[in-house]
Amino acid sequence: MVVRSIYLVVALSTIFTLMGCWRPAGRATPHKNHSQALSLSSEEKVKTQAEAARCAVALFSGDVDAVIALTHPKLIEAAGGEKAAREQWKEAIQRTQLTSFEKQVETSFPSEPVLVRGTEHEFVIVPLRVEIKREGMKAVEQLLFPVGIRRRGDSRWRYTDGASTESMRQLFPDFPPSYDVPEASIRVLD
């Protein structure tokens, strides 16, 4: 069930917005708790931003292999393993018809990634702006905060959608208790 929620909220909200069914109000304010942020090297900044963008583009293009490759193993395990996670992603993409219309997906980074450390893991919160344009329809902008996770000392980041601070703490009990993952937002552009 956990994997089904990863990026699915993004996908569903985008589809619903494109269809005119859902327009939440408000915008997220990135990183209100900078005091806990640590420095991230320029190389790591570029790497995490590129991976977060690649995951978003993979989702909207229906590239399940790329989504699975970038998803944290805890989420894949919670889905019942890679085969089950792959089937759940395919089903979710088909159900939301993400690949059924021509679209242009653009990504950008409204602010710098934020690095925080737990006792066992490092977490990088990557502010990601995704704009989806479809011919004949208004563009949709999403401000997302995917979270990269790696064990301290490892070099490979794997990602979750950063849907909520609560879900981060359930999956990773060492996620810093005084840091809150910013809330994602979506809006229809004029």
Residue spans of the domains in the chain: they are 2-188
CA-CA distance, 108 to 51, in Å (whole number)?
12
Task: Supply the angle between the helices 42-61 and 8-18 in degrees, to the nearest 10.
Answer: 60
Residues sharing a CB contact under 8 Å with residue 144, sequence separation 6 or more, in sequence order: 10, 56, 127, 128, 129, 130, 161, 162, 184
**Spatial contact of 4 and 96, defined as CB atoms under 8 Å apart:** no
Q: In whole numbers, what is the pLDDT of the chain averaged over residues?
A: 79
Per DSSP, the chain holds a count of helices (H) and strands (E) of 7, 8
Express each pLDDT in 36-69 by its tens digit.
568 899 999 999 999 999 988 888 788 899 989 9
pTM of the predicted protein model? 0.78
- Residue 107, phi then psi, degrees to nearest 5: -125, 150
Dist CA 52 CA 44 (whole Å): 12
**pLDDT higher than threshold 50 for residue 84:** yes
Per-residue model confidence as pLDDT tens digits over 119-135:
999 999 999 999 988 77
Q: How many CA atoms lie within 13 A of 24 on its CB side?
A: 16
